Amino acid sequence: MFGLALTLGIVISWILGVWAAWTLIFASAEGSVVEAATSRPTDLNGKAYFAGYSVLTLGNGELEPTSASWRMATLAAAGTGLGLVTLAVTYILNIVQAGNRRRSLATVIWTLGDTPQDIVERAHEDPTNVSQQLWSLIDPLAMVREQHVAFPVLHYLHATDRRRALPVQVAKLADAVQRLRGERTGDDLSPSVLASTARALGEYARTVGAYVPTDADPLGDDGIEPGRLLRSAGWDVPDRP
């Protein structure tokens, strides 16, 4: 809920900021806006009202600009409003798409096994297939990481189902990859794939872990600390003794 409220708050702050800016512009001259019926200059409240419905392109005709320059300013305000609406819709759609991509990637990782041990056992049974699946995760992990950098609000959008919570699934996969790198699993499970997967997981962990308070568990040498990842997903993790 906090992430959703934060996203809406960002969009609302854009609208309020543009509205306030145009209010100040119209308020810079006393006779910039008048009542259409009486041609009487409006006060600050009237100018704020005029700026608001100009930005939102409502235009009810109660108030009007007094000169060609102020009419051009009104047109510019309407253009700003249209651009703002486009920006807001694009921003929200990008957030939704990024959130869906995170949940989809988490589900894919979950299908590898419910626990790190499940993934390790599956790697022993079918190393070729697991190696291919790990390789296919590298690009999506990099993309999700870049989306976290581009849209920091994603750090506050959490999935309540652990199967769809990407930090939880990354912590699980990182544990499994660490175990596999420490043992021999057959020639078909490529060490280079394991190393590349570990690096991709580490980069993701460092990105999302940066939003966890610094007094939490420190990141490991490879950038993967399960406790910190779980905290970044909104899960309560007991502090280390």
Type of residue at 156: Y
**CB-based contacts of 57, cutoff 8 Å, min separation 6:** 78, 81, 82
pLDDT at residue 181 in the model: 84
> pLDDT of 85-126, one tens digit each?
999 999 999 999 999 999 999 999 999 999 989 999 999 888
> pLDDT of 193-206, one tens digit each?
988 998 998 888 88
Type of residue at 134: L
- The boundaries of the domain holding residue 185 are 112-232
> pLDDT of 21-64, one tens digit each?
999 999 999 889 998 888 898 999 999 999 998 998 876 778 88
Specify whether 130 is located in the same domain as 193. yes
Is 124 contained in some domain? Answer: yes
What does pTM read for this prediction?
A: 0.74
pLDDT at residue 83 in the model: 93
Specify whether 163 is located in the same domain as 61. no
Is 171 contained in some domain? Answer: yes
Cβ atoms of 62 and 70 within 8 Å: the answer is no
Helix (H, G, I), strand (E, B) or coil at 65: strand
Percent of the chain with pLDDT over 90: 43
CATH code, domain carrying 59: 1.10.287.70
Specify whether 219 is located in the same domain as 142. yes
Q: What is the DSSP string of 20-48?
A: HHHHHHHHTSTTSEEETTT-PBP-HHHHH
Q: Which residue has the higher pLDDT, 105 or 240?
A: 105
Give the phi and the psi of residue 76 in degrees, each rounded to 5: -65, -40
Cβ atoms of 8 and 37 within 8 Å: the answer is no
